[in-house]
Amino acid sequence: MGILRIDGLSVRFGAVAALNDVHLDVADGEFFCIVGPTNAGKTTLLKTVAGLHRPTAGTVWLNDRNVDGREPRDRKVSLLFQNNALFPDRTGFDNIAFALRTRGASATDIEHRVQEVATQLGVTHLLDRLPRTFSGGEQQRVAIGRAIADHSDLLLLDEPLSSLDARLRTALRLQFKHIGRDRARGILYVTHDHVEAMSLADRIAVLHAGRIQQIGTPDEIYHRPVNRFVAEFFGSPPMNILDAGVVEEGGRLRLAGAGFQTDAPLIVPHAALPRSLQIGVRGEDIRVATVRSESTPNPARVIHVERLGRKHVLDVEIGTQRVRVVTTRNGAHAAGGTVWIGFTPQPQHFLDRDSGLFLR
């Protein structure tokens, strides 16, 4: 039994289709992430579920109840807006207490609950102050407090961490993992940050241009993307897509592209592969060495090195194609130098060059 089901949902604003035939369901107790770039329709989706937008077509079921045409307040959802939307003329306490008050909770209940939430989020010192005196992170935490103060069936979170700096983001991400779960039966979490989605979600829906591209667990999305968009959206750096052809060499199947050659994995049925395709390789599945060897037979030129502390990301050119490689910091590679690269493990992802879809 799901807490949320969305059936064929479309939302149009004038001539613009913000959402196009979206289907998804969120199971009881699930942490579900919607990921996509800006303007993918993520916020529209949340607001439609909350009842703030009217769908052009399709049905929303909350807790097995068709909620079409229902007012937001009758839906038992809670929504955290991307821009906080704290009431500027109300104190931290009054903001957090808002939903409890409109529901008519008793004064002692409100006091108790607000204190509990504020302690959990570390904002007790903000309860008597107005939002304009809060820092960005404090505003965000108070807004989270307002969203979770009252129990709801579904907690909708719209980019709750995007306006925060990296430090705070990591800290709050952890909090979400447990706070949310005991305050709502399900969580629908919108973000443009694939790392956030990977680390938080039970399942992820990838949204692009108003359409769902793929729904799956973080591992499925990362390791078995259905199309090029998903492959390139997840991972830092994104998956490399290289033009290649399939050649037979002494009975062995080889993949060859401009400037490189490598064994094709045995698991790939010969007939399934077109002669000309693209391969997808994650940056961490490419080995780099300063000398040529059996496992690193392909020469490449280093364009740029991103020094990210515990790892370095090399921009290298193989033939005419750009590839981004993740290395540990063992080798000292400098821009302009030559390195030797190899694919280990053998490439696992093959795309149909025309459709942009992965071959499975």
Partner 1 sequence: MPAGPKLELRGVRKTFRDRAAVAGLSFTLLEGEFVSLLGPSGCGKSTTLSIVAGFVDADAGDILIDGRSVNAMPVRDRGVGIVFQDYAVFTRLTVGDNLGFGLEARGVPRRIRARKIAEMAERLELTALLEHRAGGLNMSEMQRLAIGRALIVEPGLLLLDEPMSNLDAGLRATLRSELRAIQQSLNQTVLYVTHDQVEAMAMSDRILVMDNGELLQAGSPDAIYDEPGSRFVAEFVGDPPINSLPCTVNASGRREARTDSGVTVALEARTPMVGRYQLCVRPEHIRIERTAFDGAAAAEVRFADNLGAEQVLHVATGDDLLRVVTSPGFARVGDRVHVLPDAAHCHFFDVGSGLRVESRVDRPAHLETA
Partner 2 sequence: MAGGSPTRRGWRFVRRTAVVVAMTISFLPIFWLVSTSFKPYEEWTTFPPVWVSSQPTLQNYRIVFAPESARRFAADQSGSLDYKVADSAWKAFGDSAIISGAATFLSVLFGLLAAWSIARFGTGGRTYPFQLLTLRMFPPIAVVVPIVALFSLLRLSDTYLGLILAYTAFTLPFSIWMLRSFIDDVPPELEGAAMVHGLGRVQAFRTVTLPLIRGGLLSTALFVFILNWSEFLFALTLTSGKITTVTLQVAKYVSASSGTLYGVQAAMGAISTLPVVLFGYLIQRHMVRGLTFGSVKR
Which H or E element spans position 220? helix 218-223
User: How many residues would you count in the chain?
Assistant: 360
Contacted entry of partner 1, partner 2, none for residue 56, CB cut-off 5 to 8 Å set by kind: none
3-state secondary structure of 200: helix
> Is 335 one of the binding residues for partner 1 (CB under 8 A)?
yes
| Binding stretches for partner 2 (CB under 8 A) | 47, 50-52, 71-73, 75, 77-79, 81, 83-89, 98-99, 102-103, 130-132, 136, 139, 146, 150, 163
Contacted entry of partner 2, partner 1, none for residue 83, CB cut-off 5 to 8 Å set by kind: partner 2
> Is 334 one of the binding residues for partner 1 (CB under 8 A)?
no
Contacted entry of partner 2, partner 1, none for residue 237, CB cut-off 5 to 8 Å set by kind: partner 1
Six token digits for residue 47: 């607001």
Please provide the DSSP assignment of 314-355 as one string: EEEEETTEEEEEEE-TTS---TT-EEEEEESSPP-EEE-TTT
Six token digits for residue 257: 């592209």
Spatial neighbors of 161 by CB under 8 A, at least 6 apart, are: 140, 168, 169, 172, 173, 191, 193, 196
Stretch that binds partner 1, among 110-118, 214-222, 286-294, 344-352 (CB under 8 A): 214-222
Please provide the DSSP assignment of 27-69 as one string: ETT-EEEEE--TTSSHHHHHHHHHTSS--SEEEEEETTEE-TT
Residues within window 146-165 making contact with partner 1, judged by CB under 8 A: 165
Six token digits for residue 322: 């750009």
Contacted entry of partner 1, partner 2, none for residue 174, CB cut-off 5 to 8 Å set by kind: partner 1
Nearer to partner 1, 111 or 220 (CB): 220
Nearer to partner 1, 141 or 282 (CB): 282
Asked if residues 76 and 39 have their Cβ atoms less than 8 Å apart, the reply is no
Stretch that binds partner 1, among 53-61, 105-113, 300-308, 345-353 (CB under 8 A): 300-308
| Footprint on this chain of partner 1 (rule: CB under 8 A) | 37-38, 136, 165-167, 170, 173-174, 177, 192-195, 198-199, 218-219, 222-223, 232-238, 282-284, 303-304, 306-310, 313, 315, 326, 329, 335
